[in-house]
C-alpha cells in the first residue's frame, strides 16, 4: 500500500483516516474530482488552472498520467461514458474537451459569458451540458462549435446533478429547476430549496425520483419531485460542531448501494442511508475543509480533497503553510450498505 505522511508531534494530523494520498498534489485548492466510468482514472481540477489525471493502481498507489491547463482557475470536470474524453470548465468561460486516452490535444468550446460552474455528460443523448454563472445551461453536440441548445436559468448556476432523464439545477436565490431531458427545452418543475440558505451541492437520486440538496448552513434536504411523495421529504443537520456550522460541499450517491456520502468544511465526511434516515458511518475530521469528493465506478474508492475553501477570504489564507491533499478511502461494504433502523425488521 502507498505510504502517507504521518503528522509531526503536536500538529493536527492531516490524514486522520489513514487514507491513501494522491501525489503529486495540486498546487492550489481542488474544485472538483471525477472518476472515469470505465477505469480507476481520477481527474482533479484546481485553482492553479490545472486539470490533472492519475491512475489508481490495484494496490492503491497513484501514478500521475497527464495534465492540461486553462487560462484561469478550473471549477468543474466530467467524463464521457466510454472513459476516453475529459471535459473541464471554469473561470476562462470555455469548456475544454480533452481526448485523454488517445493522447490528443484539448479543443475548446466557447460561448458562455461568465465562469462555468458545472458539467455533466448525458449519455443517452450524446450531449454535454454546462451550467454557468451567466444564467444559462448550454447543451453541446461535440461535432459542432455552437451549442445545440441554450436554456435560460432564473439565476446563476451553482450546482447540477444528472440521473437521466432527471436533471436538477440549483441556482442563486435558492431555486432548484428540474428538467426532464426527454424534453430539455421546457422546465419540468421549479421549486424553492427546502433549505433556508444558499445551495452548495445537489445529487439526483439514482432512481430519478428526487434529489439531495446541501447548503452552506450544515444541512441536507431529501426532496422528491412528485408532489404525491411530499410526505417522504425531510431535512437533517450535519457538518456542525457545537455552535459552529459548516457548509456541506459535496453529495455523492454510492453507485451500488444508493446510500450517499456528505463532505463538508468541517473537514468531515459521513455515509448515510436516506431510506432508513440514519448515518451509517462517521469518519475522523481532517484539519482543513473537504471541498469535493466522489466515488469510483464500482464504489470501492471514495476520493476527497482536503484544502482551504476560501470561506474566510484571503486574510485566512497563508500560502506558505497552505496544503492541498487528495485522499483515497478504501470503502468497506458494511459502511455503505443500507441498514434497517434498529428495532425494525
Segment 103-110 mean pLDDT: 96
Residue with cell 503553510: 321
Contact 115, 104 (CB under 8 A): no
Per-residue pLDDT band for 339 (boundaries 50, 70, 90) equals confident
Q: Report the alpha-carbon distance of residue 229 to residue 122 in Å, rounded.
A: 26
The reported pLDDT for the residue numbered 2 is: 40
Write the pLDDT tens digit of every residue in 215-260: 999 999 999 999 999 999 999 999 999 999 999 999 999 999 999 9
Q: Is 46 helix (H, G, I), strand (E, B) or coil?
A: strand
The reported pLDDT for the residue numbered 51 is: 98
**Do the strands 210-215 and 199-204 form a parallel or antiparallel pair, or are they unpaired?**
antiparallel
Q: Is 99 exposed, middle or buried (0-12, 13-18, 19+ CB in 10 A)?
A: middle
Q: Report the alpha-carbon distance of residue 238 to residue 76 in Å, rounded.
A: 24
**pLDDT at residue 299 is higher than 70:** yes
The contacts of residue 183 (CB under 8 Å, 6+ apart) are none
**pLDDT at residue 114 is higher than 90:** yes
Cell numbers placing 170: 440549483
Q: Report the alpha-carbon distance of residue 176 to residue 184 in Å, rounded.
A: 15
Q: Is 318 exposed, middle or buried (0-12, 13-18, 19+ CB in 10 A)?
A: exposed
Q: Report the alpha-carbon distance of residue 264 to residue 217 in Å, rounded.
A: 10
Per-residue pLDDT band for 343 (boundaries 50, 70, 90) equals low
The reported pLDDT for the residue numbered 322 is: 86
Q: Report the alpha-carbon distance of residue 227 to residue 233 in Å, rounded.
A: 10
The contacts of residue 275 (CB under 8 Å, 6+ apart) are 338
DSSP β-bridge partners for residue 197: none
Measure Cα distances from 100 to 17, 52, 54, 103 in Å: 31, 10, 11, 5
The values of phi and psi at residue 331, to 5°, are -80, 125
Gyration radius of the chain's alpha carbons: 19
Per-residue pLDDT band for 3 (boundaries 50, 70, 90) equals very low
Which of the 8 DSSP states describes residue 139?
Answer: E
Half-sphere exposure of 290 (CA within 13 A, CB side): 30
Element (H, E) at 270: strand 269-273
Write the pLDDT tens digit of every residue in 52-104: 999 999 888 899 999 999 999 999 999 999 999 999 999 999 999 999 999 99
**Do the strands 127-132 and 107-110 form a parallel or antiparallel pair, or are they unpaired?**
unpaired
Is the pLDDT higher at 12 or at 50? 50
Q: Report the alpha-carbon distance of residue 133 to residue 116 in Å, rounded.
A: 6
Write the pLDDT tens digit of every residue in 165-186: 999 999 999 999 999 999 999 9
**pLDDT at residue 344 is higher than 90:** no
Write the pLDDT tens digit of every residue in 306-316: 999 988 888 88
The reported pLDDT for the residue numbered 11 is: 60
Contact 307, 29 (CB under 8 A): yes
The reported pLDDT for the residue numbered 5 is: 37
The reported pLDDT for the residue numbered 321 is: 81
Contact 77, 85 (CB under 8 A): no
**pLDDT at residue 211 is higher than 80:** yes
- String of b and e for 6-19 (b: at least 16 CB within 10 Å)? eeeeeeeebbebeb
Is the pLDDT higher at 320 or at 40? 40
**pLDDT at residue 328 is higher than 60:** yes
The reported pLDDT for the residue numbered 295 is: 98
Contact 104, 163 (CB under 8 A): no
Closest alpha carbon to 254 in 279, 272, 234, 231: 272
Percent over 90 (pLDDT), the chain: 89
Per-residue pLDDT band for 9 (boundaries 50, 70, 90) equals very low
Contact 63, 21 (CB under 8 A): no
Amino acid at each position: 500500500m502507498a505510504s502517507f505522511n504521518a503528522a509531526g508531534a503536536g500538529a493536527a494530523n492531516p490524514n486522520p483516516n489513514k487514507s491513501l494520498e494522491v501525489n503529486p498534489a495540486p498546487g492550489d485548492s481542488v474544485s472538483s474530482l471525477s472518476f472515469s466510468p470505465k477505469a480507476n482514472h481520477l481527474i482533479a481540477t484546481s485553482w492553479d488552472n490545472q486539470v490533472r489525471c492519475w491512475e489508481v493502481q490495484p494496490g492503491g498507489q497513484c501514478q500521475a498520467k497527464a495534465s492540461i491547463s486553462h487560462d484561469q482557475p478550473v471549477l468543474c470536470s466530467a467524463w464521457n461514458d466510454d472513459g476516453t474524453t475529459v471535459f473541464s470548465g471554469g473561470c476562462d468561460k470555455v469548456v475544454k474537451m480533452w481526448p485523454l486516452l488517445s493522447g490528443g490535444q484539448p479543443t475548446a468550446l466557447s460561448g458562455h459569458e461568465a465562469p462555468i460552474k458545472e458539467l455533466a455528460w448525458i449519455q443517452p443523448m450524446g450531449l454535454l451540458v454546462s451550467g454557468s454563472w451567466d444564467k444559462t445551461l448550454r447543451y453541446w453536440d461535440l461535432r459542432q462549435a455552437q451549442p445545440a441548445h441554450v436554456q435560460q436559468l432564473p439565476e446563476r448556476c451553482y450546482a447540477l446533478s444528472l440521473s437521466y432523464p432527471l436533471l436538477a439545477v440549483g441556482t442563486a436565490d435558492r431555486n432548484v429547476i428540474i428538467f426532464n431531458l426527454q424534453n430539455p427545452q421546457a422546465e419540468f418543475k421549479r421549486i424553492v430549496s427546502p433549505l433556508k440558505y444558499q445551495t452548495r451541492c445537489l445529487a439526483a437520486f439514482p432512481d430519478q425520483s428526487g434529489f439531495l440538496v446541501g447548503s452552506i448552513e450544515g444541512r441536507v434536504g431529501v426532496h422528491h419531485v412528485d408532489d404525491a411523495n411530499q410526505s417522504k421529504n425531510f431535512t437533517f443537520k450535519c457538518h456542525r460542531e457545537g455552535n459552529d456550522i459548516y457548509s456541506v460541499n459535496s453529495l455523492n450517491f454510492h453507485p451500488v448501494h444508493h446510500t450517499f456520502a456528505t463532505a463538508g468544511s468541517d473537514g468531515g465526511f459521513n455515509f448515510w442511508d436516506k431510506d432508513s434516515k440514519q448515518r451509517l458511518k462517521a469518519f475522523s475530521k481532517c484539519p482543513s475543509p473537504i471541498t469535493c469528493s466522489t466515488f469510483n465506478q464500482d464504489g470501492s474508492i471514495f476520493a476527497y480533497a482536503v484544502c482551504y475553501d476560501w470561506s474566510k477570504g484571503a486574510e485566512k489564507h497563508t500560502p506558505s503553510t497552505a496544503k492541498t491533499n487528495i485522499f483515497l478511502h478504501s470503502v468497506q461494504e458494511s459502511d455503505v450498505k443500507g441498514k434497517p433502523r434498529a428495532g425494525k425488521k
